[in-house]
C-alpha cells in the first residue's frame, strides 16, 4: 500500500475546539485515484495535510511508502514530501513573477536535479499538459485552466509516488475541469503514482477509481444520491 491511514484522529484546539477526524481509515494503492467528498468543514483539507506529513494526527498512524510519518522528524518528513509527493491546490500557488517553466522547475531544483537536465524535463511535462512552447509565459498571461495545467505539471514533474490534490478543479468550468482531471489521472497513472483528491464535485469524483465520503463517523464509501454533495 502506498498510503495507509489507520485509525487517524485529529483535534483542533483554538477558539472553538473540535474533533475534526475520528478514527479515519484509508488505503491507497499505487496508480489508484481516490476522491474524498464531504461537506465544507468535514476535514478534507485536514486529511490531505496529514497525509502530506504537514501536520501530525493526535492518534493513529499514517504510513507513506513504507515510512510511518509520525515517526519521522520534520526534516525527514520534508524530504519524503519533496521527493515523493506532488501537490495541486485550488488557489494554484503558482508564483506570479516566475515563468511557467520556472514554476514547473521548482520541484526539480529543490530535489537537486542537475541544472542542465531541467529544461528538457520541464518542456516534456509542459507538452504533456498541452502547453508546449509556453515555457516563458507569465502566470498573468495564462487562463485559469492553463494555470491549473501549469500547477499539475509542477505537481508531476519530479515523478512523485503520491499526488495530493485539494479541489484541483474548483474554479474551472465543468468541461475544463473534467479535461484537467483526466490529464492529472493519466499522468499520475503513467508514473504509477497514487492520487488522493478532495472535491465537492460529484462530476469530478465520478472520474476517480473510488469515492469516499468524510463524515463525523469517519470515511465511508460514497453512494451517489444518498445525501451526498
Ligand X SMILES: Nc1ncnc2c1ncn2[C@@H]1O[C@H](COP(=O)(O)OP(=O)(O)OP(=O)(O)O)[C@@H](O)[C@H]1O
Instruction: Estimate the crossing angle of helix 100-110 against helix 144-156, to 10 degrees.
Output: 20
Q: Which does 133 bind (CB under 5 to 8 A by kind): Mg ion, ligand X, none?
A: none
Listed in sequence order, the residues at least 6 apart from 181 whose beta carbon sits closer than 8 Å to its beta carbon are 168, 169, 204, 207
Q: Does 44 bind ligand X (CB under 6 A)?
A: yes
Listed in sequence order, the residues at least 6 apart from 2 whose beta carbon sits closer than 8 Å to its beta carbon are 28, 29, 30, 64, 65, 161, 162, 194
Residue of 2, 8, 35, 45 interacting with ligand X (CB under 6 A): 45
Q: Does 216 bind ligand X (CB under 6 A)?
A: no
Q: Does 45 bind Mg ion (CB under 5 A)?
A: yes
Residue of 4, 6, 7, 12 interacting with ligand X (CB under 6 A): 12
Q: Which does 153 bind (CB under 5 to 8 A by kind): ligand X, Mg ion, none?
A: none
Q: How far apart are CA 28 and CA 42, in angstroms?
A: 20
Instruction: Estimate the crossing angle of helix 174-191 against helix 144-156, to 10 degrees.
Output: 10
Q: Does 207 bind ligand X (CB under 6 A)?
A: no
Q: Which does 52 bind (CB under 5 to 8 A by kind): ligand X, Mg ion, none?
A: none
* Distance of closest approach, residue 54 Cβ to ligand X, in angstroms: 11
Can you give the binding site for ligand X, defined by CB under 6 A?
12, 14, 18, 20, 38, 40-46
Amino acid at each position: 500500500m502506498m498510503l495507509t491511514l489507520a485509525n487517524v484522529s485529529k483535534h483542533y484546539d483554538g477558539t472553538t475546539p473540535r474533533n475534526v477526524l475520528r478514527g479515519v481509515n484509508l488505503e491507497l494503492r499505487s496508480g489508484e485515484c481516490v476522491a474524498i467528498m464531504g461537506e465544507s468543514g468535514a476535514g478534507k483539507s485536514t486529511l490531505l495535510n496529514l497525509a502530506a506529513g504537514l501536520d501530525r494526527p493526535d492518534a493513529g498512524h499514517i504510513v507513506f511508502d513504507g515510512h510511518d510519518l509520525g515517526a519521522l522528524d520534520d526534516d525527514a518528513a520534508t524530504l519524503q514530501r519533496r521527493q515523493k509527493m506532488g501537490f495541486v491546490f485550488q488557489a494554484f500557488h503558482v508564483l506570479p513573477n516566475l515563468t511557467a517553466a520556472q514554476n514547473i522547475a521548482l520541484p526539480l531544483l529543490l530535489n537537486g536535479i542537475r541544472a542542465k537536465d531541467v529544461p528538457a524535463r520541464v518542456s516534456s511535462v509542459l507538452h504533456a499538459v498541452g502547453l508546449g512552447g509556453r515555457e516563458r509565459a507569465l502566470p498573468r498571461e495564462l487562463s485559469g485552466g492553463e494555470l491549473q495545467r501549469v500547477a499539475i505539471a509542477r505537481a508531476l514533474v519530479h515523478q512523485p509516488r503520491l499526488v495530493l490534490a485539494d479541489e484541483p478543479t474548483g474554479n474551472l468550468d465543468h468541461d475544463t475541469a473534467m479535461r484537467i482531471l483526466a490529464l492529472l489521472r493519466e499522468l499520475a497513472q503513467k508514473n504509477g503514482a497514487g492520487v488522493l483528491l478532495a472535491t465537492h464535485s460529484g462530476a469530478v469524483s465520478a472520474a476517480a477509481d473510488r469515492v469516499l465520503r468524510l463524515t463525523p463517523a469517519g470515511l465511508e464509501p460514497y453512494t451517489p444520491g444518498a445525501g451526498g454533495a
